[in-house]
Structure 1
Amino acid sequence: MGCNLRDLATPHPVDLSDFNGQRVAVDAFLLAYQFITSLRKRGEGADGGPLTDSNGHPVSHLMGFLDRATIMIESGIDPVFVFDGRPHDLKMETLASRKSRKDDAKEKWDRAVADEDWTTAQKLGSQIVSYTREMVAETRAMLDLLGIVNIEAPMEAEGAAAVRCARGDVDAVASQDWDTLLYGAPVMVRNLTSHGTKKFGRMVHAERIVLAELLDENGLTYEQLVDLGIMVGTDFHPGIKGIGPKTGLKLIREFGTIEEICIAKGKELPERLQEIRAIFRNHPISGEPIANPGMCDEDGLRKMLVDGHDFSERRIGRALNRMEAAGRLRSGGQTSLFDF
């Protein structure tokens, strides 16, 4: 999840209608993990694993994306789902640590299932899920059938989305990852895809964070914000021990750069600092323009989800009704301006 900048931000409550007519880039991987960790087998005798179809194939990711994506479309939002590409080698330590924690949880989950300790198994279920390449391909195939634009980033999804936003290709970036701001996204939206749902008994509301406001309110330049994030800790470096957001903010205001702070405080300079800075300040993106949205292929969607994965008529019908309400549904040989 990267660096937590919540203490520096002033979020503005927003509604989905505030983004009517706007193109919003969505960090697909974080969203996928929300779905597969929350839509799981529960109840007596359930092991807490992902929901599956009659063939034992995971479907939580498809259910989640179908529901949330069509809600966005119905609200007048033009989403662009951005998927992670190949991770930078500086992220490998973070990924290895995550895998180690998952492996430990899997061992405990296996023991709980063997002992028929369903309470423990369900608690551990969210820690053992994976969003596999096959699941990514299925998600993108479903989005294609919905006529919803989806792209693969060269590296980090939120990084590519942020650059696209800075260039004016999209109006905002929807992500829970505060690193989105370190990548230079002018507008970040948290909780956009979970707006109106409940979490721990509380209603979730979307929030807009404007990068220019954050910089102005904290007396920082963008370059200083990146240095602050690196000191606190990101996916590419664990940070400088003893420096959190509040201390880091005070130090960066006083000394200006990580180099000067390390000299003044006798701290070790982070290794490969210039590379880490470049990941945030000059994140790679594809040179190809973002495609236009298309029409939803009802027949294809039904074949994939109803015939292929046992989706109920109620679930598929709800999604199709949203697409129809937005003028984005194609049945049979019907065509529209979206097809040209």
Structure 2
Amino acid sequence: MSIYSFLIAVRSEGQQLMSDTGETTSHLMGMFYRTLRMVDNGIKPLYVFDGAPPKLKSGELAKRFARKNEANEQAEEAKETGTAEEVEKFSRRTVRVTREHNEECRRLLKLMGIPYIIAPTEAEAQCAVLARAGKVYAAASEDMDTLCFNAPILLRHLTFSEQRKEPIQEIHLDKTLEGLGMDRTQFIDLCILLGCDYVDPIPKVGPNTALKLIREHGTLEKVVEFIENDPKKRYSLPEDWPYKDARELFLHPDVRSADDPECDFKWEAPDVEGLVQFLVNEKGFNEDRVRNAAQKLQKNVKTAQQSRLEGFFKAVPKTEEEKKSLKRKHDEKVAEAKKKKKEDVKTKKESKAKAHISR
């Protein structure tokens, strides 16, 4: 789940939502109400936050920072001479997720009783570990790289607003690989070829070309060799293109094992008064809405807990002796019922006979 998506999506008249003191609240508004919507629909979310980014990602982060600085300049120009649409477009590009945003979201989740963990590095990689271990059903992210981390199921659009009317996409890795006719390593190579968080895409290589190159050459090593020796010079590799390092990060990411104590989590009852203090008194949310939402969350958590308790009691296969014992008891009950029925019929006949004689 992306705090960034909440910051750019939850807006009013092109501006992020603010408290009376001028603090941004879009991230809290988005996380609070969209988490509530998930819980209302029977989904029990676990949030995973990014840890420190891998060193290989520093180049990509630097480029993003530069793009945001450029967007800041363009946004200022648009305010002077541009249309409302241009102002909105460039303003979205200037949005940054800060450490404070992350800390406030974690505080909110704790008050809601919704569990979260902090990954060593990439959140998507940690989500994949938990999904493979069966501790969660799927990894939910807009980042398709999540599949490269070997997440068995990827859910997209899970936190989209209802206004967007985008159905949730459920993507199964095994079916994806089968459909492409690839193994996991080839799929990773395909994604790297198209560009990811760790390396730039190759100019003029789109999805169709990338798929064709991987199918023809099998590995990125052979694709690179083909490009470098191609007499037509149709494609040119970026100057710094550490594709092997990128592949290694997908195959062996820095993650915690699913049975690590830091990966233990549970859903708890919400702290209603704590939510009121944080969202209403500190951030200026509407008290009635917060209390109503918290009460609804409290009710849904109880229902979820009951469902989980019932889920623990699974049917255990019976032994042959137990089956014979149950059959014997069943047969005895049937025989006893037949005997009682005969006795009832006999009693009724005798009663009728006595009544006839008395007349």
TM-score by length of 1: 0.79
C-alpha distance in structure 2 between counterparts of 1:232 and 1:209, whole Å: 19
Task: Name the aligned partner's letter for residue 284 of structure 1.
Answer: D
Task: Name the aligned partner's letter for residue 280 of structure 2.
Answer: V
Q: Deviations over 1:218-257 (max 9, x none)?
A: 1000011001111111110113333222222222222211
Structure 2: stretches of 5+ with no match in the other structure: 230-236, 304-308, 310-359
More helix by share: 2
Name which of structure 1's ranges 258-267 and 296-305 shifts more when overlaid on structure 2: 258-267
Say whether residues 1:206 and 2:168 are aligned partners.
yes
Task: Name the aligned partner's letter for residue 43 of structure 2.
Answer: I
1:61 alignment partner, one of 27, 35, 49: 27
Aligned residue for 1:38? Answer: 9
C-alpha distance in structure 2 between counterparts of 1:177 and 1:75, whole Å: 23
More strand by share: 1
1:85 alignment partner, one of 36, 45, 51: 51
Say whether residues 1:276 and 2:219 are aligned partners.
no
CA contact (8 A) 1:36 1:61 kept: yes
Runs (4 or more) in structure 1 with deviation over 6 Å come to 114-117
Task: Name the aligned partner's letter for residue 198 of structure 1.
Answer: Q
**Number of aligned residue pairs:** 292
Q: CA deviation at 1:116?
A: 10
C-alpha distance in structure 1 between counterparts of 2:248 and 2:136, whole Å: 22
Q: CA deviation at 1:101?
A: 1.6
Say whether residues 1:253 and 2:215 are aligned partners.
yes
C-alpha distance in structure 2 between counterparts of 1:255 and 1:327, whole Å: 52
Describe how 1:137-156 pairs up with structure 2 within 5 A.
137-156=103-122
1:263 alignment partner, one of 225, 235, 260: 225
Task: Name the aligned partner's letter for residue 163 of structure 2.
Answer: K
CA contact (8 A) 1:71 1:322 kept: no
CA contact (8 A) 2:272 2:291 kept: no
Task: Name the aligned partner's letter for residue 215 of structure 2.
Answer: R
Structure 2 vs 1, CA of residues 254 and 130 (structure 1 numbering), >3 Å: closer, same or farther?
A: same
Aligned residue for 1:192? Answer: 158
Aligned residue for 1:7? Answer: none
C-alpha distance in structure 2 between counterparts of 1:65 and 1:328, whole Å: 21
C-alpha distance in structure 1 between counterparts of 2:152 and 2:210, whole Å: 22
Q: CA deviation at 1:83?
A: 1.0
C-alpha distance in structure 2 between counterparts of 1:210 and 1:153, whole Å: 23
Counterpart of 1:160 in 2: which secondary structure?
Answer: helix
TM-score by length of 2: 0.75
Task: Name the aligned partner's letter for residue 138 of structure 1.
Answer: E
C-alpha distance in structure 2 between counterparts of 1:168 and 1:283, whole Å: 19
What RMSD over aligned residues (CA atoms) do the two structures have, in Å? Answer: 2.3
1:216 alignment partner, one of 178, 190, 196: 178
Aligned residue for 1:325? Answer: 299
Q: Deviations over 1:296-329 (max 9, x none)?
A: 0001111101111110024313421431331359
Tell which has more relative contact order, 1 or 2 (C-alpha 8 A, sep 6+): 1
Aligned residue for 2:146? Answer: 180
